[in-house]
Structure 1
Amino acid sequence: MKNIKKGLLFISIVVMVFSFAACGGQEKDVYKVAMEPTFPPFDTTDSKTGELSGFDVDLMEAIAADQGFELEWSNMSFGGLISALQSGNIDIIASGMNASDQRRKQVDFSDTYYDSGLVVAVKDGNTAIKSIKDLTPDMRVGGQIGTTGADKCNELQKAGKIKEAKIYDGLDVAMMDLQNGTIDALINDLPVTKAYMKAKPGTIEIVGDVLNAESYGIAVKKGNKELLDQINAGMKDIKDNGTFDKLYSKWFE
């Protein structure tokens, strides 16, 4: 009888130990998040480490820390982000993405976190183009694939107002082509264009007024309410505790 009691006591202790270990060492959820890193200051690559960097990285990492989950980052072309999300290859898009009505039919967006707009950029010293109204049917105009800038370029070409809408996978190549004269102008988001001008002064300039306004959001697969709620809750928390403002100052001021 004593041996039976000892055996039961031992089993109970073992069960308790494993129960405590399971509670104390519970693994965090890990979500796959992707971006296209040629869109500074939102999405870029650290020149020293080669790691993905930018406002979107810091923002998403702050939300993850607040909500108790972890992130696994990957680099993808902007045009392939939504299809990767829909197919389940990634869980989150954090890539300076405009939460447009058209995209909302494909994915679910978080509360928006940045209000932007499009601008026309030209090579520094270009006096022929002073606004979008100065674009002519013999000109080539660039934009990045999957963005509202590319949509605007295609719209201008369809209307016969420019010769060609040249659409790029990466914004870095588009900026190079703008400087070497392959394209006459580039239509792109205001903060990204300003960041490029700051990093490489004297290369390009913005002309005319800001065009259509747009707001950026973090995207998840359609119907993934649990993850969307976590992201929105984390976004609210970091705005309330001042973390968001600190990150904004780091990347935009």
Structure 2
Amino acid sequence: MMEDLLYCKDLFDPIDVDKTKKDDMPTKPEKMTDKEWEKLKRKTLGTIRQWIDISIFNHVSQETEPLELWRKLEGLYERKTAHNKASLIKRLVSLKLKPGKSVSEHLSDFQDIINKLTVMKIVFDDELQALFLLSSLPDSWETLVVSISNSAPDGVLSLDVIKESMFNEELRRKEMGVDISQALVVENRGISKSRGPKGRGKSKGWAVVHLRTEQKKNIRIERGKVLVQNLQTSRTNSIIAGDPAVGLS
């Protein structure tokens, strides 16, 4: 933040006033000459100007006193704060892990929004952040979402646990050689009763999936397992076990 920068550079004195007093003015240190004081104010003014957004610079370009510049900037940013808060909340709610985007990039986007809201004094606790992050996962990650939700102690989600699970899931998918988030379901069959005179009992729901990649593979969920079939070799591997007919439907 700008205040921190000015403190670190010993440039805060020219704007150091009691904010509860509207007309309060900064006090020149006793050991400093008038010339040194003017030089310090000029340094403070120049440093603040370097960090002013170009979109509002014209509104404050005529200010020659650091304190007046500072107060004007506070007024301008306070008016923008309400709109910025609404925009950031909208971004947070609509954030989704997109196909082809890494978990690391997605978490970086998520944390960027959280950090900006924190600066605006909107602070979410760990569980609420965890819920927002979990809701940002696409439908193709539903199995992971259900697993994390069901295993949460006393129903309380942990942000660190979700992050770790997301990285593990990404690694598992890379090892499979398949990005399931890019899958397109082209056929779906639900639970059905016995068929024909011989009867085959109840069959679990399953879905056949074609990938939006050049990999010639199908994915199928059958009897609680996710199966990946290589169409070139007709070899089928069982990847994970889970609830019947969960996910790609």
Structure having the higher strand fraction is: 1
User: Could you state the TM-score of these two structures normalised by the residue count of structure 2?
Assistant: 0.23
Structure having the higher helix fraction is: 2
User: Could you state the TM-score of these two structures normalised by the residue count of structure 1?
Assistant: 0.23
Question: Larger relative CO (CA 8 A, sep 6+): 1 or 2?
Answer: 1
